[in-house]
Amino acid sequence: MSDFEKELAGLREKTVLCVGDPMLDEFVYGEVTRISPEAPAPVLAVQRSETNIGGAGNVARNLASLGVRCVFVGVIGDDQAGRELSAAFADFGLIEPHLVIAPARPTTRKMRFVSEHFSTHLMRADWEKTEPVAAAQEQAVIEQALAALPGADAVVLSDYAKGTLTQRVVRALLDAALAAKKPVVVDPKGKDFARYRGATLITPNRQELAAATRSAAESDDEIVAAAEEVEKLVGCKAVLVTRSEQGMTLVVNGAEPVHVAAYPVKVRDVSGAGDTVAAVLGAMLAAEAGFEAAMRAANAAAAVAVSKRGTATVSLAELRGRLLPAASLASEEKILYDWSQLDERLAAWRSQGLRIGFTNGCFDLLHPGHVKLLTEARGRCDRLIVGLNSDASVRRLKGEARPVQDVHARAEVLAALEAVDLVVIFEEDTPLKLMARVRPKLLIKGGDYRLDQVVGREQVEADGGQVMLVDIVPGFSTTKLVNRSRTAAGA
């Protein structure tokens, strides 16, 4: 298992404290087919609407979607939007919300009108108050957050400049986290980054970085220089600059800057993408990942988020699928030790009218002959199942000195091949029982067999299937490779 996989697997054991400005995000989708006769304005024929937890609350949603427990602290109004937010938070079992009610303030609410066909935002309507919260709510936020801090593995401050993260709140949390040696990720707002002094990692976008440093911050060198200025100003360990379609830049104190390109995806909606980035960074630092690993995970998560409509979340499976190479995910997706899962796979493939092929063997030391067999077999069918002899089965067939690799290693190597769709382990000396379960339409074996020697031929042909022999690659044999290596070892 790679370091990335270990860190991702460990996320479910972590807790992140998130403090910031929650809001109610509403999306109204429809089509524009005419201009209003009352004014030169487009008329949106509404087709559907969605309501989500937004703002800093979307950081909490993304953490929960990743399987991370989140303690969320924020301020809402005593109104219908606030009640909707409270009810929405209750739907997330992994989020523990502490919502401080400010009777004199409206709950921040944003309503976006979107063209369904073009995924274009036509207009946004906001209900908000941006002044700092009153002293009573400020104190309540501090008390709730500090009470949760000992049980948190990391802290995220998600600042939308709606009044929750006052100077006093930010200072109290940063000082307490620093004393407790908890990493803090800050998603900043405004031009005064000095107020975040003591943060571990600060994540401005390019425009925010330019405004805070009064610089152009456009080229790589300019962005690095501005990030280094912020690093000194804030006293943080790292600055991560999000650059939209240009990817991200990471500047870590004492290390070379790292630039990563954005994933090539169709962008449907950028709403909340920064929340996804902050959530993943907080989760990865909670899992004690390095800054570069956290950045690469956040970059992958952002690609998933912007490919969805609305204020989107990213699941752990989606993140792993985007971040890790397909071969590293193959073992859990392609290998079956339990045949009870086989029928479901087969039913799904057959419902799509796919032609299922089958081959089998020990595949103890994979060589070019095996690769040719599997590649040609997959070229003749839509899905290729490989029956793999168990260790006990190999010993009975090949002797006590075999297999060289155990069944888990042999299965993982096969699963990493693009030509192989499923690896199924069987305990018997022949695959007849497994083949009766699979009922393949194509049975493939190497050309070193004659048709009358192929186990299962009669069974497959009686079921309307076909048997095919593939020419072998001369000079390659697992037995010969094993004997040659043993001879060399004894020389």
Question: Which amino acids are annotated catalytic?
Answer: 275
What 8-state DSSP symbol labels residue 205? B
Rounded to whole angstroms, how far apart are CA atoms 414 and 418? 9
Q: Determine the 3-state secondary structure of 481 from DSSP.
A: helix
Is the CA virtual torsion 301, 307, 311, 317 positive or negative?
A: negative
Joined together, the tokens standing for residue 486 give 């043993």
Rounded to whole angstroms, how far apart are CA atoms 77 and 86? 11
Work out the angle between the directed axes of helices 407-415 and 326-334 (0-180°, nearest 10). Answer: 120
Q: Determine the 3-state secondary structure of 304 from DSSP.
A: helix
Joined together, the tokens standing for residue 29 give 């989708």
Instruction: Kindly list the strands in the beta sheet with 154-158, ordered across the sheet, starting from the edge strand earlier in the chain.
Output: 95-102, 69-77, 15-20, 154-158, 184-187, 201-202, 238-242, 248-252, 258-260
Rounded to whole angstroms, how far apart are CA atoms 293 and 214? 29
Q: Look at strands 184-187 and 238-242 and give their pairing.
A: unpaired
Q: 424: exposed, middle or buried (C-beta count within 10 Å: 0-12, 13-18, 19+)?
A: buried
Using alpha carbons, select from 50, 127, 60, 66 the residue that is nearest to residue 91. Answer: 60
Which pairs from 331-338 meet CB under 8 Å and 24+ separation? 331/411, 331/412, 331/415, 333/415, 334/415, 334/420, 334/421, 334/422, 334/423, 335/411, 335/412, 335/415, 335/422, 335/423, 335/425, 336/422, 336/423, 336/424, 336/425, 337/425
| Helix or strand (DSSP H, E) at 74 | strand 69-77
Contact call for residues 64 and 70 (beta carbons, < 8 A) = yes
CA 160 from chain centre, in angstroms, equals 25
Give the DSSP per-residue string, 337-369: S-GGGHHHHHHHHHHTTPPEEEEEE--SS--HH
**CB burial readout 107-119, b (16+ within 10 A) else e:** bbbbbbbbebeee
| Helix or strand (DSSP H, E) at 8 | helix 3-9
Joined together, the tokens standing for residue 324 give 């890790």
HSE-up (13 A, CA, CB side) for residue 204: 29
Question: CB under 8 Å to 329, separation ≥6 — which residues?
Answer: 320, 321
